[in-house]
Structure 1
């Protein structure tokens, strides 16, 4: 069984590398993170930029360094899209049938996809984080205080890296659950940018935010104005649980549903 999954995983890497989707999403992630890092550093120390009229932390402070290095976690939205496309393209391009005929054990196919995108996300996440570190180090250094890469700053970077990888796995699971590529991507975007924002804004339910993927992500990296969060390791476990649930449910449904 291990040899079969290894063969299927290599096949998934071949599919991934023979398309330009991963290049576009990786470049988009780097541009997104680099742009936000530059903006955050450029406006650091300004007044009135935060909640309740608070300004952005000044360069050289621990808050600035952690928040600036945590910007790399913004690319999670593109990593989850990468995972979704990796699964749903089989149905969109009508290649699911030959794929499942090649390996009738559908569960192994989904497991191979999970492993392939998990491993592929590792170096991609490292590159995104490197862009964040480079921009912040150069720009903040030019303004008088480059951040150190140790202590809490290193924890933030490690948390962002883990989150990017986990979100790619979540994307594979969501794609296996929904199968419709546009529907899955739109649904994820609505959840991330609308549902979680609404939960945060309603006092009666905002305590639940810390248990959602967004709250877990902030706990793993850094947050601006959000105090009711889990610890970093608890946030990591919560986000990992979401990834495992998405993977298990996606595998189970792929096994049981007909290919259309």
Structure 2
């Protein structure tokens, strides 16, 4: 133990007495902070007077949500059920074409993907086109009230995901995969017993299959119940040459229903059409130029047939191309520059001794070669961890203020998530430095080792956020050391929310701890192979 402590002290003395290594470490922190707090991204929150503050409603669990849809409802008291037959869904999607723009430049307009009132914000030169968004929804819903963020449970048909039951924004249960058409309509039913709601589906209205059951503790005795239709932001990835981006805009859906009935003790008043979520609000009901602006405009009745037209979504709010604003991960855009410095320092911490022939002297002073390598790893990773910790703490704190000052909406996260992102950034730099140290030991030449380290750690990340299609980018960020960037992820992905979920928007394919495991695995393997090579070859 004393032998390792002495070796560690000796390696730390080397590190702190070489001015270039110390300055490089300080520079790494400075670059991360500078790129994180410098003015850049601009938004519209608070830039258009009172009421433009980009505030999102909160769901029952305190999470930010999108809550906008067309609602045909009545107040119903007590336990009972409501049943309807869905005979079809039609819709309008934003246009495509080569002139569709990347709308992520302003993440803070009404639907998070550009100006929904401009033609290009609706998807490009070709104009709107017929089609149903995959997560467009038409069905039955029971809510505590008509206020945004109310507790709810809904059973629905979707554009491309069959029948579903969803409740309280974050919960999604799959039913049958079939779509509802005029030739093959689908029946839906919601049943309430106290604070428990059950969603069911049927092909003929006789034989019913339960999709799921939800318990809603905040559901009052008298609830708002009825039909709803909504259709979320529709976004597509765009690749032009070496550039990638997103284009799209608000979509709209029309659901056709008949055989609407309530039973089992529920009695209500007249049906009332309404739109939940004012058009143009951050959680609003789509394009204020195209979507319904009142319940009457979104509702038609022809005998027993009912048609509802709606835009928006009932779901957790997300950052990115199909959402609003950014996550705190995007304050750490300068991490890749600090990472380059970290791998350079990790490499030269050993290659400098090879170049000057000093490694033999080091081994004479401390004969245990593995112990020397372990001490070097501890010193360089410790220095980079402290550097990353200080830089990330400053950026996450100050970067959010800069973005909000520029009118950019930044999704708030719990304190524990902020701490994990800060500590994760520090671990990313530390493990990358260990990996670079191992490569430097194996390759011996500084330029060769630095190039290899940058290609392994930094280049995959840069390709993923700038050039590669989403699927290729996500694959690369699963298998390379750049998987460690997942430690900076602060916003969860929701399968039931249509979004591109790109690395550029702070979404990574692995969970934070899985990304840590991949990067740590690369670092451990590199260091272990380096230790074996160091033992069996001349210094």
Q: TM-score, normalised by structure 2?
A: 0.42
Rounded Cα–Cα distance in structure 1 between residues aligned with 2:331 and 2:531: 37
Gaps of 5+ in 1: none
Q: Which residue of 2 aligns with 1:133?
A: 396
Contact 1:73/1:164, CA 8 A, preserved across alignment: no
Query: Which one has the largest radius of gyration?
Result: 2
Contact 2:457/2:480, CA 8 A, preserved across alignment: no
Is residue 183 of structure 1 aligned with residue 448 of structure 2? Answer: yes
CA deviation map 1:32-90 (0-9, x unaligned)? 21232134x53143844472248x969xx673323214644642221121111111111
Q: How far is the alpha carbon of 1:109 from its aligned partner?
A: 1.1
Rounded Cα–Cα distance in structure 1 between residues aligned with 2:335 and 2:480: 19
Contact 2:4/2:375, CA 8 A, preserved across alignment: yes
Q: Which residue of 2 aligns with 1:252?
A: 532
Contact 1:70/1:157, CA 8 A, preserved across alignment: no
Contact 1:107/1:255, CA 8 A, preserved across alignment: yes
Please list, as runs of the form range in 1=range in 2, the aligned pairs for 1:154-165 lying within 5 A after superposition: 154-165=419-430
Rounded Cα–Cα distance in structure 2 between residues aligned with 1:256 and 1:113: 19
Contact 2:26/2:387, CA 8 A, preserved across alignment: no
Q: Which residue of 2 aligns with 1:237?
A: 517
**1:51 alignment partner, SS class:** strand
CA deviation map 1:84-103 (0-9, x unaligned)? 11111111121111111112
Greater RCO structure (CA 8 Å; 6+ sep): 1
Please list, as runs of the form range in 1=range in 2, the aligned pairs for 1:60-209 lying within 5 A after superposition: 63-69=326-332, 71-72=334-335, 74-140=337-403, 142-143=405-406, 150-192=415-457, 194=459, 201=468, 207-209=475-477
Rounded Cα–Cα distance in structure 2 between residues aligned with 1:108 and 1:64: 42
CA RMSD of aligned residues (A): 3.2
Counterparts in 2 of 1:116 and 1:31: CA distance versus 1, 3 Å: closer
Q: How far is the alpha carbon of 1:27 from its aligned partner?
A: 3.0
Contact 2:15/2:22, CA 8 A, preserved across alignment: no
Rounded Cα–Cα distance in structure 1 between residues aligned with 2:470 and 2:327: 27
Contact 1:70/1:221, CA 8 A, preserved across alignment: no
Q: How far is the alpha carbon of 1:141 from its aligned partner?
A: 5.3
Contact 2:377/2:434, CA 8 A, preserved across alignment: yes
Gaps of 5+ in 2: 45-102, 106-243, 249-318, 490-502
Q: Which has the higher helix share?
A: 1
Contact 2:439/2:530, CA 8 A, preserved across alignment: yes
Contact 2:460/2:476, CA 8 A, preserved across alignment: no
Q: Which residue of 1 aligns with 2:153?
A: none
Contact 1:72/1:128, CA 8 A, preserved across alignment: no
Rounded Cα–Cα distance in structure 2 between residues aligned with 1:106 and 1:36: 39
Q: Which residue of 2 aligns with 1:42?
A: 40
CA deviation map 1:192-221 (0-9, x unaligned)? 45566668737896524312111x123221
CA deviation map 1:193-251 (0-9, x unaligned)? 5566668737896524312111x123221332576611111111111111111111111
**1:163 alignment partner, SS class:** helix
Q: Which residue of 1 aligns with 2:245?
A: 51
